[in-house]
Amino acid sequence: MIKVITYGTYDHLHRGHVRLLERAKALGDYLIVGVTSDDFDKQRGKINVQQLLLEKMIVGENFRGGIEVVRRINSEVNRLIREKDEIVNLLSIDVFKGAEEYENYMKTVGKWFADEQKLFAKNKALVDKAITKASYDNMGKGNMKAMEEISQLELELKRTIIKHGSLISSTMELQNISDNIIHKAKLQKLRPAFDFARKLQSIIKDDRPDKMLTILAPLFAPRIVKTFSMTSIDHMLTLKSEDNAKTTKVKKEQLDPNFRYEDELLDEQISANFTKLFHELLDQLSKWGHLSLKEFNGILEVKFGKEIYDNKDYYSFLTHLAQKDRYSVDEILKKPDTMLEGMLVDHIERIKTGKGIAILQNQTDGDMGHGGSGLSREMYAPELTLDAFRGMTFTLEFHPDEEIQIGEDMYVTGIQFNKTS
Protein backbone atom coordinates (compact mmCIF):
# COMPACT_ATOMS: atom_id res chain seq x y z
CA MET A 1 0.00 0.00 0.00
CA ILE A 2 1.33 3.44 -1.03
CA LYS A 3 0.81 6.26 1.50
CA VAL A 4 0.81 9.90 0.37
CA ILE A 5 1.33 12.77 2.83
CA THR A 6 0.50 16.44 2.21
CA TYR A 7 -0.22 19.45 4.40
CA GLY A 8 -1.55 22.97 4.17
CA THR A 9 -3.25 25.80 5.97
CA TYR A 10 -6.53 25.47 4.07
CA ASP A 11 -7.63 28.85 5.36
CA HIS A 12 -10.86 29.36 3.38
CA LEU A 13 -11.03 26.00 1.60
CA HIS A 14 -11.56 26.51 -2.14
CA ARG A 15 -11.54 24.59 -5.42
CA GLY A 16 -7.77 24.71 -5.72
CA HIS A 17 -7.44 22.87 -2.42
CA VAL A 18 -9.89 20.21 -3.61
CA ARG A 19 -7.97 19.62 -6.86
CA LEU A 20 -4.72 19.43 -4.92
CA LEU A 21 -6.11 16.81 -2.59
CA GLU A 22 -7.57 14.84 -5.52
CA ARG A 23 -4.21 14.73 -7.31
CA ALA A 24 -2.46 13.74 -4.09
CA LYS A 25 -4.97 10.90 -3.56
CA ALA A 26 -4.38 9.67 -7.11
CA LEU A 27 -0.67 9.19 -6.33
CA GLY A 28 -1.27 6.36 -3.83
CA ASP A 29 -3.67 4.19 -1.94
CA TYR A 30 -3.80 6.14 1.32
CA LEU A 31 -3.75 9.94 1.75
CA ILE A 32 -2.65 11.69 4.95
CA VAL A 33 -3.45 15.41 5.15
CA GLY A 34 -1.81 17.65 7.75
CA VAL A 35 -3.45 20.96 8.65
CA THR A 36 -1.32 23.70 10.18
CA SER A 37 -2.56 25.53 13.27
CA ASP A 38 -3.07 29.29 13.59
CA ASP A 39 -0.06 29.52 15.90
CA PHE A 40 2.11 27.80 13.29
CA ASP A 41 1.00 30.31 10.66
CA LYS A 42 1.74 33.22 12.95
CA GLN A 43 5.17 31.89 13.85
CA ARG A 44 6.09 30.85 10.32
CA GLY A 45 4.11 33.46 8.41
CA LYS A 46 1.28 32.66 6.01
CA ILE A 47 3.12 34.13 3.03
CA ASN A 48 6.19 32.07 3.85
CA VAL A 49 4.16 28.84 3.93
CA GLN A 50 2.39 29.67 0.66
CA GLN A 51 5.73 30.40 -1.01
CA LEU A 52 7.04 26.97 -0.08
CA LEU A 53 3.86 25.43 -1.49
CA LEU A 54 4.27 27.51 -4.68
CA GLU A 55 7.79 26.16 -5.06
CA LYS A 56 6.44 22.57 -4.99
CA MET A 57 3.72 23.48 -7.50
CA ILE A 58 6.19 24.90 -9.98
CA VAL A 59 8.64 22.00 -9.65
CA GLY A 60 5.73 19.58 -10.16
CA GLU A 61 4.62 21.60 -13.22
CA ASN A 62 1.24 22.27 -11.65
CA PHE A 63 1.13 25.82 -13.01
CA ARG A 64 -2.60 26.33 -12.64
CA GLY A 65 -2.39 25.33 -9.00
CA GLY A 66 0.55 27.71 -8.68
CA ILE A 67 -1.60 30.56 -9.99
CA GLU A 68 -4.11 29.89 -7.22
CA VAL A 69 -1.34 29.91 -4.62
CA VAL A 70 0.03 33.24 -5.88
CA ARG A 71 -3.42 34.76 -5.71
CA ARG A 72 -3.73 33.62 -2.09
CA ILE A 73 -0.35 35.21 -1.37
CA ASN A 74 -1.57 38.43 -3.02
CA SER A 75 -4.70 38.33 -0.89
CA GLU A 76 -2.59 37.93 2.25
CA VAL A 77 -0.41 40.91 1.26
CA ASN A 78 -3.56 43.02 0.82
CA ARG A 79 -4.73 41.96 4.28
CA LEU A 80 -1.41 42.97 5.83
CA ILE A 81 -1.60 46.37 4.11
CA ARG A 82 -5.08 46.93 5.56
CA GLU A 83 -3.82 45.87 8.99
CA LYS A 84 -0.96 48.35 8.71
CA ASP A 85 -3.39 51.16 7.80
CA GLU A 86 -5.55 50.28 10.82
CA ILE A 87 -2.50 50.64 13.07
CA VAL A 88 -1.87 54.13 11.67
CA ASN A 89 -5.47 55.11 12.46
CA LEU A 90 -5.21 53.61 15.93
CA LEU A 91 -2.04 55.62 16.61
CA SER A 92 -3.94 58.82 15.92
CA ILE A 93 -6.69 57.81 18.40
CA ASP A 94 -4.85 55.96 21.15
CA VAL A 95 -1.12 56.31 20.66
CA PHE A 96 -0.02 53.82 23.30
CA LYS A 97 -2.43 51.10 22.21
CA GLY A 98 -1.43 51.78 18.62
CA ALA A 99 2.24 51.44 19.59
CA GLU A 100 1.48 48.08 21.18
CA GLU A 101 -0.27 46.87 18.01
CA TYR A 102 2.66 48.10 15.96
CA GLU A 103 5.10 46.07 18.06
CA ASN A 104 2.96 42.95 17.60
CA TYR A 105 2.73 43.62 13.87
CA MET A 106 6.50 43.83 13.53
CA LYS A 107 7.01 40.66 15.59
CA THR A 108 4.53 38.56 13.59
CA VAL A 109 4.84 40.12 10.14
CA GLY A 110 7.88 42.33 9.78
CA LYS A 111 10.41 39.72 10.90
CA TRP A 112 9.60 37.55 7.84
CA PHE A 113 10.12 40.22 5.19
CA ALA A 114 13.73 39.24 4.44
CA ASP A 115 12.90 35.52 4.13
CA GLU A 116 9.86 36.27 1.98
CA GLN A 117 11.95 38.34 -0.43
CA LYS A 118 14.45 35.50 -0.79
CA LEU A 119 11.65 32.98 -1.46
CA PHE A 120 10.04 35.32 -4.00
CA ALA A 121 13.37 35.50 -5.83
CA LYS A 122 13.57 31.69 -5.78
CA ASN A 123 9.97 31.36 -7.05
CA LYS A 124 10.71 33.85 -9.85
CA ALA A 125 13.82 31.89 -10.87
CA LEU A 126 11.80 28.64 -11.01
CA VAL A 127 9.13 30.28 -13.20
CA ASP A 128 11.80 31.62 -15.59
CA LYS A 129 13.31 28.14 -15.78
CA ALA A 130 9.89 26.62 -16.49
CA ILE A 131 9.30 29.12 -19.32
CA THR A 132 12.64 28.21 -20.90
CA LYS A 133 11.93 24.49 -20.58
CA ALA A 134 8.42 24.81 -22.05
CA SER A 135 9.77 26.80 -24.99
CA TYR A 136 12.22 24.12 -26.09
CA ASP A 137 10.44 20.90 -25.06
CA ASN A 138 8.53 19.02 -27.72
CA MET A 139 5.30 18.61 -25.82
CA GLY A 140 2.98 18.56 -28.81
CA LYS A 141 -0.34 20.36 -28.67
CA GLY A 142 -0.29 20.54 -24.90
CA ASN A 143 2.72 22.81 -25.03
CA MET A 144 0.65 25.89 -25.95
CA LYS A 145 -1.66 25.43 -22.96
CA ALA A 146 1.29 25.00 -20.59
CA MET A 147 2.87 28.17 -21.95
CA GLU A 148 -0.33 30.11 -21.32
CA GLU A 149 -0.50 28.86 -17.72
CA ILE A 150 3.18 29.67 -17.08
CA SER A 151 2.77 33.15 -18.58
CA GLN A 152 -0.27 33.77 -16.38
CA LEU A 153 1.65 32.50 -13.35
CA GLU A 154 4.59 34.81 -14.19
CA LEU A 155 2.26 37.84 -14.48
CA GLU A 156 0.50 37.10 -11.18
CA LEU A 157 3.84 36.54 -9.43
CA LYS A 158 5.25 39.87 -10.69
CA ARG A 159 2.20 41.75 -9.43
CA THR A 160 2.48 40.10 -6.03
CA ILE A 161 6.23 40.79 -5.73
CA ILE A 162 5.66 44.49 -6.52
CA LYS A 163 2.84 44.74 -3.98
CA HIS A 164 4.93 42.92 -1.37
CA GLY A 165 7.75 45.43 -1.93
CA SER A 166 5.27 48.26 -1.41
CA LEU A 167 4.17 46.62 1.86
CA ILE A 168 7.77 46.53 3.11
CA SER A 169 8.35 50.21 2.19
CA SER A 170 5.14 51.38 3.87
CA THR A 171 5.95 49.30 6.97
CA MET A 172 9.35 50.97 7.27
CA GLU A 173 7.57 54.32 6.92
CA LEU A 174 5.15 53.21 9.62
CA GLN A 175 8.07 52.94 12.02
CA ASN A 176 8.92 56.63 11.48
CA ILE A 177 5.26 57.62 11.86
CA SER A 178 4.98 55.61 15.08
CA ASP A 179 8.16 57.12 16.54
CA ASN A 180 7.00 60.68 15.80
CA ILE A 181 3.52 60.16 17.23
CA ILE A 182 4.88 58.49 20.38
CA HIS A 183 7.40 61.32 20.85
CA LYS A 184 4.66 63.94 20.59
CA ALA A 185 2.45 61.97 22.96
CA LYS A 186 5.21 61.80 25.56
CA LEU A 187 5.68 65.55 25.36
CA GLN A 188 1.94 66.06 25.65
CA LYS A 189 1.88 63.96 28.81
CA LEU A 190 4.23 66.46 30.39
CA ARG A 191 1.78 69.30 29.82
CA PRO A 192 -1.27 69.75 32.06
CA ALA A 193 -4.51 68.88 30.27
CA PHE A 194 -8.17 68.47 31.12
CA ASP A 195 -10.56 66.16 29.24
CA PHE A 196 -13.87 68.04 29.30
CA ALA A 197 -15.82 65.38 27.40
CA ARG A 198 -14.74 62.52 29.66
CA LYS A 199 -15.36 64.54 32.81
CA LEU A 200 -18.82 65.60 31.64
CA GLN A 201 -19.75 62.00 30.82
CA SER A 202 -18.63 60.96 34.30
CA ILE A 203 -20.80 63.65 35.92
CA ILE A 204 -23.85 62.60 33.91
CA LYS A 205 -23.26 58.93 34.69
CA ASP A 206 -22.95 59.62 38.43
CA ASP A 207 -25.84 62.13 38.35
CA ARG A 208 -23.76 64.72 40.21
CA PRO A 209 -24.60 68.17 38.75
CA ASP A 210 -22.77 69.81 41.67
CA LYS A 211 -19.49 68.63 40.16
CA MET A 212 -20.06 70.92 37.17
CA LEU A 213 -18.22 73.51 39.22
CA THR A 214 -14.97 71.63 38.56
CA ILE A 215 -15.50 72.21 34.85
CA LEU A 216 -16.75 75.78 34.89
CA ALA A 217 -14.58 77.30 37.65
CA PRO A 218 -11.35 77.36 35.62
CA LEU A 219 -13.12 79.19 32.80
CA PHE A 220 -14.14 82.09 35.05
CA ALA A 221 -10.82 82.45 36.83
CA PRO A 222 -8.10 81.59 34.36
CA ARG A 223 -4.55 81.67 35.60
CA ILE A 224 -2.10 82.32 32.80
CA VAL A 225 1.22 80.68 33.44
CA LYS A 226 3.96 83.11 32.56
CA THR A 227 7.03 81.67 30.93
CA PHE A 228 10.50 83.02 30.35
CA SER A 229 12.20 82.11 27.08
CA MET A 230 15.75 80.84 27.48
CA THR A 231 16.72 82.67 24.28
CA SER A 232 16.05 85.94 26.09
CA ILE A 233 19.14 85.27 28.20
CA ASP A 234 21.36 85.41 25.12
CA HIS A 235 19.71 88.67 24.09
CA MET A 236 20.30 90.20 27.50
CA LEU A 237 23.94 89.15 27.54
CA THR A 238 24.64 90.69 24.13
CA LEU A 239 22.70 93.90 24.79
CA LYS A 240 24.97 96.87 25.52
CA SER A 241 23.95 99.65 27.87
CA GLU A 242 24.19 103.31 26.93
CA ASP A 243 27.22 103.69 29.22
CA ASN A 244 29.06 100.95 27.34
CA ALA A 245 28.11 102.52 24.02
CA LYS A 246 29.49 105.88 25.13
CA THR A 247 32.68 104.25 26.32
CA THR A 248 33.15 102.58 22.95
CA LYS A 249 32.59 105.89 21.20
CA VAL A 250 35.21 107.64 23.34
CA LYS A 251 37.74 104.90 22.56
CA LYS A 252 37.08 105.34 18.86
CA GLU A 253 37.74 109.07 19.10
CA GLN A 254 41.07 108.39 20.82
CA LEU A 255 42.52 106.60 17.79
CA ASP A 256 45.79 108.03 16.43
CA PRO A 257 44.84 110.56 13.72
CA ASN A 258 48.09 109.74 11.89
CA PHE A 259 47.20 106.03 11.65
CA ARG A 260 47.55 104.63 8.10
CA TYR A 261 46.55 101.31 6.59
CA GLU A 262 49.15 99.45 4.58
CA ASP A 263 47.60 100.29 1.21
CA GLU A 264 47.39 103.97 2.22
CA LEU A 265 51.07 103.95 3.21
CA LEU A 266 51.96 102.38 -0.13
CA ASP A 267 50.03 105.03 -2.10
CA GLU A 268 51.63 107.85 -0.09
CA GLN A 269 55.04 106.26 -0.58
CA ILE A 270 54.61 106.17 -4.37
CA SER A 271 53.35 109.78 -4.37
CA ALA A 272 56.40 110.83 -2.36
CA ASN A 273 58.75 109.13 -4.83
CA PHE A 274 57.02 110.78 -7.80
CA THR A 275 57.19 114.19 -6.09
CA LYS A 276 60.92 113.87 -5.38
CA LEU A 277 61.72 112.82 -8.97
CA PHE A 278 59.57 115.62 -10.41
CA HIS A 279 61.13 118.13 -7.98
CA GLU A 280 64.62 117.00 -9.03
CA LEU A 281 63.74 117.41 -12.72
CA LEU A 282 62.45 120.97 -12.13
CA ASP A 283 65.51 121.82 -10.08
CA GLN A 284 67.90 120.74 -12.86
CA LEU A 285 65.90 122.53 -15.56
CA SER A 286 65.94 125.74 -13.51
CA LYS A 287 69.76 125.49 -13.43
CA TRP A 288 70.50 124.36 -17.01
CA GLY A 289 67.43 125.26 -19.08
CA HIS A 290 67.47 121.97 -20.98
CA LEU A 291 68.28 118.42 -20.10
CA SER A 292 68.27 115.01 -21.79
CA LEU A 293 66.97 111.87 -20.13
CA LYS A 294 70.48 110.41 -20.23
CA GLU A 295 71.84 113.45 -18.38
CA PHE A 296 68.96 113.33 -15.88
CA ASN A 297 69.71 109.65 -15.15
CA GLY A 298 73.36 110.50 -14.56
CA ILE A 299 72.36 113.12 -11.99
CA LEU A 300 70.08 110.61 -10.23
CA GLU A 301 72.88 108.04 -10.14
CA VAL A 302 75.20 110.57 -8.47
CA LYS A 303 72.61 111.52 -5.85
CA PHE A 304 71.00 108.12 -5.15
CA GLY A 305 73.35 105.55 -6.67
CA LYS A 306 72.66 103.01 -9.41
CA GLU A 307 70.15 101.35 -7.07
CA ILE A 308 67.70 103.91 -8.42
CA TYR A 309 67.11 101.51 -11.32
CA ASP A 310 65.96 98.82 -8.91
CA ASN A 311 63.03 100.95 -7.78
CA LYS A 312 59.83 100.29 -9.75
CA ASP A 313 58.53 103.78 -9.01
CA TYR A 314 61.24 105.25 -11.25
CA TYR A 315 59.94 103.44 -14.34
CA SER A 316 56.36 104.20 -13.38
CA PHE A 317 57.28 107.89 -13.08
CA LEU A 318 58.74 107.98 -16.61
CA THR A 319 55.64 106.26 -18.01
CA HIS A 320 53.26 108.78 -16.40
CA LEU A 321 55.52 111.72 -17.31
CA ALA A 322 55.47 110.74 -21.01
CA GLN A 323 51.67 111.09 -21.18
CA LYS A 324 52.05 114.81 -21.90
CA ASP A 325 54.56 116.84 -23.93
CA ARG A 326 54.13 120.08 -21.95
CA TYR A 327 53.93 120.86 -18.24
CA SER A 328 53.15 124.05 -16.32
CA VAL A 329 53.74 124.17 -12.57
CA ASP A 330 50.99 126.76 -12.06
CA GLU A 331 48.48 124.67 -13.99
CA ILE A 332 49.44 121.56 -12.02
CA LEU A 333 48.88 123.30 -8.69
CA LYS A 334 45.64 124.90 -9.88
CA LYS A 335 43.99 121.99 -11.70
CA PRO A 336 45.86 118.69 -12.11
CA ASP A 337 44.60 116.76 -15.12
CA THR A 338 46.70 113.55 -15.04
CA MET A 339 47.26 110.87 -12.44
CA LEU A 340 50.86 112.01 -11.97
CA GLU A 341 49.84 115.63 -11.39
CA GLY A 342 47.13 114.54 -8.94
CA MET A 343 49.60 112.49 -6.92
CA LEU A 344 52.03 115.42 -6.81
CA VAL A 345 49.40 117.82 -5.50
CA ASP A 346 48.08 115.30 -2.94
CA HIS A 347 51.56 114.70 -1.55
CA ILE A 348 52.31 118.41 -1.29
CA GLU A 349 49.04 118.93 0.61
CA ARG A 350 50.00 116.14 3.04
CA ILE A 351 53.36 117.82 3.60
CA LYS A 352 51.67 121.16 4.36
CA THR A 353 49.35 119.52 6.92
CA GLY A 354 52.21 117.59 8.50
CA LYS A 355 50.85 114.14 7.58
CA GLY A 356 53.85 113.49 5.36
CA ILE A 357 56.06 113.25 8.43
CA ALA A 358 54.40 109.93 9.36
CA ILE A 359 55.64 108.50 6.07
CA LEU A 360 59.15 109.69 6.77
CA GLN A 361 59.08 107.93 10.15
CA ASN A 362 57.96 104.64 8.59
CA GLN A 363 60.78 104.43 6.00
CA THR A 364 64.27 103.05 6.37
CA ASP A 365 67.38 104.53 4.86
CA GLY A 366 67.85 103.39 1.29
CA ASP A 367 64.78 101.10 1.38
CA MET A 368 61.44 102.34 0.04
CA GLY A 369 59.59 99.12 0.77
CA HIS A 370 58.17 99.32 -2.76
CA GLY A 371 60.07 97.64 -5.51
CA GLY A 372 63.50 97.87 -3.88
CA SER A 373 65.88 100.64 -2.85
CA GLY A 374 67.36 103.65 -4.60
CA LEU A 375 65.59 106.72 -3.14
CA SER A 376 67.01 108.00 0.11
CA ARG A 377 65.34 109.25 3.26
CA GLU A 378 65.95 112.88 2.27
CA MET A 379 63.29 112.54 -0.42
CA TYR A 380 60.57 112.88 2.23
CA ALA A 381 61.71 116.17 3.74
CA PRO A 382 58.65 118.24 4.67
CA GLU A 383 60.01 121.31 2.85
CA LEU A 384 59.68 119.49 -0.51
CA THR A 385 57.16 121.67 -2.44
CA LEU A 386 56.77 123.19 -5.91
CA ASP A 387 56.38 126.78 -4.70
CA ALA A 388 59.94 127.66 -5.78
CA PHE A 389 59.09 126.71 -9.38
CA ARG A 390 55.87 128.66 -9.86
CA GLY A 391 55.66 130.15 -13.34
CA MET A 392 57.94 127.48 -14.83
CA THR A 393 56.91 125.52 -17.91
CA PHE A 394 58.79 122.87 -19.83
CA THR A 395 58.28 120.58 -22.80
CA LEU A 396 59.24 117.03 -23.72
CA GLU A 397 60.72 116.05 -27.08
CA PHE A 398 60.73 112.33 -27.82
CA HIS A 399 63.48 110.72 -29.94
CA PRO A 400 62.30 107.26 -30.98
CA ASP A 401 65.55 106.51 -32.83
CA GLU A 402 67.59 107.04 -29.67
CA GLU A 403 67.82 104.28 -27.11
CA ILE A 404 69.17 104.93 -23.63
CA GLN A 405 70.42 102.04 -21.53
CA ILE A 406 69.17 101.96 -17.97
CA GLY A 407 70.82 99.50 -15.71
CA GLU A 408 72.20 96.30 -17.25
CA ASP A 409 69.47 95.15 -19.64
CA MET A 410 66.83 97.90 -19.78
CA TYR A 411 66.47 100.42 -22.67
CA VAL A 412 64.11 103.40 -22.98
CA THR A 413 63.40 105.94 -25.72
CA GLY A 414 65.39 109.16 -25.56
CA ILE A 415 63.66 112.27 -24.18
CA GLN A 416 64.78 115.92 -24.27
CA PHE A 417 63.44 118.24 -21.53
CA ASN A 418 63.37 121.97 -22.44
CA LYS A 419 62.47 124.83 -20.10
CA THR A 420 60.24 127.32 -21.91
CA SER A 421 59.61 129.85 -19.13
The answer to whether residues 154 and 125 touch, using CB atoms and an 8 Å cutoff, is: no
Q: How does strand 410-419 pair with strand 393-406?
A: antiparallel
Q: What is the mean pLDDT of residues 350-354?
A: 74
Q: Comparing C-alpha atoms, which of 142, 14, 110 is closest to residue 67?
A: 14
Confidence of residue 419 (pLDDT cuts 50, 70, 90): very high
Confidence of residue 328 (pLDDT cuts 50, 70, 90): very high
Q: What is the mean pLDDT of residues 125-129?
A: 88
As its CATH architecture, domain 36-189 has Up-down Bundle (1.20)
**Prediction pTM value:** 0.39
Rounded percentage of the chain residues whose pLDDT exceeds 90: 10
Confidence of residue 392 (pLDDT cuts 50, 70, 90): very high
Does pLDDT of 298 surpass 70?
yes
Confidence of residue 367 (pLDDT cuts 50, 70, 90): very low
Other CB atoms within 10 A of residue 404 CB: 16
Query: What confidence score (pLDDT) does residue 418 get?
Result: 95
Query: What confidence score (pLDDT) does residue 218 get?
Result: 67
Does pLDDT of 72 surpass 50?
yes
Q: What is the mean pLDDT of residues 54-83?
A: 86
Q: Comparing 37-51, 58-72, 259-273, which segment has the lowest mean pLDDT?
A: 37-51
Query: What confidence score (pLDDT) does residue 365 get?
Result: 39
Q: What is the mean pLDDT of residues 113-127?
A: 87
Does pLDDT of 71 surpass 70?
yes
User: Per-residue pLDDT tens for 73-94?
Assistant: 888 889 888 888 888 888 878 8
Q: Comparing 176-180, 338-342, 400-404, which segment has the lowest mean pLDDT?
A: 176-180
Q: Comparing 201-210, 236-245, 304-313, 368-377, which segment has the lowest mean pLDDT?
A: 368-377
User: Per-residue pLDDT tens for 165-187?
Assistant: 888 888 888 778 878 877 777 76
Q: Where are the chain's structural domains? A: 36-189, 194-226, 264-419
Query: What confidence score (pLDDT) does residue 173 get?
Result: 81
Q: Long-range contacts: 173-181, Cβ < 8 Å, 24+? A: 174/84, 174/87, 174/88, 174/102, 175/102, 175/106, 177/88, 177/91, 178/87, 178/91, 178/98, 178/99, 178/102, 181/91, 181/92, 181/95, 181/98, 181/99
Crossing angle of the two packed helices 15-26 and 63-93, in degrees rounded to 10: 140
Query: What confidence score (pLDDT) does residue 205 get?
Result: 86
Q: Distance of alpha carbon 57 from its chain centroid, rounded?
A: 54
Does pLDDT of 10 surpass 80?
no
Does pLDDT of 417 surpass 50?
yes
Q: What is the mean pLDDT of residues 124-130?
A: 87
Does pLDDT of 242 surpass 60?
no
Rounded percentage of the chain residues whose pLDDT exceeds 70: 76
Q: Comparing C-alpha atoms, which of 145, 143, 119 is closest to residue 133?
A: 143
Highest mean pLDDT among 81-90, 140-149, 393-402: 393-402
Q: What is the mean pLDDT of residues 123-139?
A: 78
Mean of pLDDT over the chain: 78
Does pLDDT of 382 surpass 50?
no
User: Per-residue pLDDT tens for 244-271?
Assistant: 555 555 455 555 666 667 777 888 888 8
Does pLDDT of 394 surpass 90?
yes
Query: What confidence score (pLDDT) does residue 352 get?
Result: 75
